[in-house]
Structures are given as structure tokens and as C-alpha cells.
Amino acid sequence: MSVHEAPLHAASSEVVLVSHGFQTHYEQGFANGLAENGLPVTLLGSDETLASRLHPGVQLLNIRGSQDSRRSRWRKAHNMLLYHLRLLATVWQRRRATVMIIGMLGPEWLVGVIEGLLLRLISARLTLTVHNILPHNRHTATMKRLYWIIYRIPHLLLVHTDATRQALIDDFGIAPDRVLVMEHGLNDSVERLPLSKPDAKAALGADPQRPAVLFFGYVSPFKGIDLLIDAIEQREDITLIVAGRCAPGEYGDTIRRRLEALQPSGKLVWMEGFLAEADIARAFAAADATVLPYRHIDQSGVLLLSLSQGVPVIATQIGGFAEVVEPSNGLFIREPSAEAVGEALDSFVSQPRRFRPAEVMGTVEHLAWRRTVKGLLRWLSAGGVGDGRRVNA
């Protein structure tokens, strides 16, 4: 009997999904994937939640409200306090449900430890999705000790790669049966544009005849865009498309200055800021490849979004990337250095017809959310007990 057909135990008849404001596309995909398999889902969301795209089986409770960055500090603090009080009250009302935290909110000592313990005491079962072993750019001994505690609170830890699972076991001493590998689902919210590469490049103001590579997302030190800029500056035949905004602080300011200096050369198209879905689609339509020169990562939604758009990737061989990137959908950067990024760019440009969009998309079509959640559904249908190994659909 398939997971879709298997009846759920009464104790597992409802899931309360807590995203803590995590990426809206991820929030939508996770919730819809569960609901498409017949599981009642209550999603605790905000004004940013993509309410109109939720499956009919998903009940949205907007308990977080406005996320307008222009709010005063007092208003932000007031809203956050109300949110956490509402969260605890809602879970208490649904205390027979399984609570799934799919995104971590800071400060971790409060949300991850204190609130985590309360949710563990209140709910029938508690799961936590571990996107990265430690927060980006905060790989410190103190942070590791804090997460050593956080990872012992839930009944089950969900991860998206075997590499993350093994790190939890080896580096944090987590019992193997408490970690379930559930592959990251695809972002199906961004529609692929039916444009030729030359037309898409011209629409962005790029040279239609030159190869174009894309750096997509929030600019942060761990993503290594500085290495990519170093490599692009040494090459006259490649256009760099940057779609995203710079993080505040010294690193973000430095990258902003470098991008501004690169613009007059004609080698840069900068789509600055938070992009609407139509602009995201335009960026991927123009790109011959997406470059992910990351210094550290466990898994990336950008990687899967690119492949689902038929755009191959050039990615550092780290974390869970090796579990997704293969010769038919991309190639690896041997190490996070400007020299290695440049070598990978040269290799890609030298074989322009190696990657076909249909073949690239075919490598990830099995990662639709309705499929990737089935291992989790099996764990739930067993009453939230049993081995947390990968369960194939």
C-alpha cells in the first residue's frame, strides 16, 4: 500500500506547521505536499504567506501578521511577543497534533531552547527541520553548544541530505533513528518563461551573444560572491547576472562597491533588491548557468530552483550538493577559491551545448513535494515512532 493510501493513526491526524517566517515558497511547498497526501495541515503563517496558493487541505492561521521592515522597533518587538504567545496558545489548543518547525527564528536560546521545550511538553510530537547544521556565518563553539541542546529537544530531526544526517550523528551525537532524510522539494511557484536565451538576455540589457551566469539570492559571506566577482573580472567573454540584495554590514557594503565598479564594463546585469516571481523567471531565462560558489552549505533551494528551470549549475563540491549535481545537470567547483571558480567557468564556456534544459529538469522531477514528504508520512502513520532512516517513496 502506498503512503498516499495508508491511513494515518488518530494521534497523527493533524499537523501544525510552524515556519517562523521562513521562505514563503518553502512554506507553501511543504504544506501543500502534506495536504496533497491527505494529511490535515494547520499552517501558522504571516501576511507574507502565499495564502492563495495553498492546497484546500491547508488551514492558514495568520498569527504573525505584518512583516513590514519599515515598522518601528517597538512595533516589531510587540508583534513578535504577540506572535509567540499566539503560537503557544494555538499549539495548546491542538496539543494532540504533531508540531513541525520548518524554520528557526532567533534568538536561538529563547526560540530553540525555551520555546522548543514548551512545544515538546505541549504537543503530541515535535519535529525540527535542520536546513544547515549551524547558522550561516556563525560557526562558533558557542553556537555549536547551543545547537547541541536544541537538537536534543524534538522527537525527530528532518534533514534534506545524507551529509547533514551524518553530521548530526557524528558531530552532535544524535541517535540515527532520530534523524529522517526527506529530500528538499522543488519550488514550483516560478513558471519557466518560453524565451530563447538570446531574447531573454536582450530583455535584461545583456549581450545576447555572450554566455551569462547567474548569482541568485541574498548576498552573504558564506555564498562566496566575492570569489565569483574575482573570476569575472579576469574574463572578458562572460556576463554576470546578480539577482538579489546585499546583506547589511561591511561585507555587503564591499560587494556593493565592487558591483558598482563592475557595471561600466558591460559585464554585469544587477537586478537589485527583493525580486517578484516574474523577475526571478526573467533572470533564470537569461542565464546559461547558475553559479553557487558557496563556502559552506548543507542544501540550497536556489540549486533546485535553477535545475527545475532547466538551468545547469556550477557549484562548489560541498555539503549535500554532491547528492544532486551530476554530469547531466552541472559541474563542480573543486574548492571555494577565485581560481577554482574561474576554472569551472572556463570549463563550462568551452562546452556550450553539453547541457540540455529538458535533461536538466529531468534530473529533479522526482523531487515534487508530494513525493518527498512520503517518508515523513510513513513515520507519522506509525504513530511517530520507529527508525528515522530515509524511507523511499
Alpha-carbon distance 209 to 331, whole Å?
Answer: 22
Alpha-carbon distance 337 to 316, whole Å?
Answer: 9
Say whether pLDDT at 247 is over 80. Answer: no
Q: Which residue type, as a one-letter code, is found at position 330?
A: G
Percent of the chain with pLDDT over 90: 70
Domain 197-366: top CATH class: alpha beta
What is the structure's pLDDT at 3?
38
Looking at the chain, the domain(s) classified CATH 3.40.50.2000 span 10-185+368-381, 197-366
The grid coordinates listed for 140 are 562558533
- Local structure of residue 322 (DSSP, 8 states): G
CB of 325 closer than 8 Å to CB of 351: no
Alpha-carbon distance 389 to 246, whole Å?
Answer: 38
- CATH architecture classification, 10-185+368-381: 3-Layer(aba) Sandwich (3.40)
What is the structure's pLDDT at 299?
79
* Interior/surface letters 94-105, b for 16+ CB within 10 angstroms, e for the rest: beebbbbbbbbb
Residues facing 215 on adjacent strands: 242
What is the structure's pLDDT at 10?
34
pLDDT band at 8, cuts 50/70/90?
very low
Say whether pLDDT at 44 is over 70. Answer: yes
What is the structure's pLDDT at 6?
43
pLDDT 10s digits, 145-187: 999 999 999 999 999 999 899 999 999 999 999 999 999 999 8
Residues 6+ apart with CB under 8 A from 377: 3, 6, 8, 34, 37, 39
Alpha-carbon distance 360 to 180, whole Å?
Answer: 27
What is the structure's pLDDT at 392?
41
Report the chain's mean pLDDT, rounded to a whole number. Answer: 90
Could you tell me which of 353, 324, 21 has the C-alpha nearest to residue 181? Answer: 324
Residues 6+ apart with CB under 8 A from 174: 151, 152, 157, 168
- Local structure of residue 218 (DSSP, 8 states): -
Could you tell me which of 387, 392, 380 has the C-alpha nearest to residue 6? Answer: 380
Alpha-carbon distance 208 to 266, whole Å?
Answer: 12
CB of 41 closer than 8 Å to CB of 57: yes
CB of 383 closer than 8 Å to CB of 13: no
Alpha-carbon distance 42 to 59, whole Å?
Answer: 5
Alpha-carbon distance 296 to 281, whole Å?
Answer: 26
Q: Which residue has the cell 527541520?
A: 129
pLDDT band at 393, cuts 50/70/90?
very low
Percent of the chain with pLDDT over 70: 94
pLDDT band at 388, cuts 50/70/90?
low
For residue 360, the SS3 value is: helix
* Rounded alpha-carbon distances, angstroms, from residue 219 to 125, 136, 202, 259: 36, 12, 25, 12
Alpha-carbon distance 55 to 36, whole Å?
Answer: 7
CB of 248 closer than 8 Å to CB of 240: no
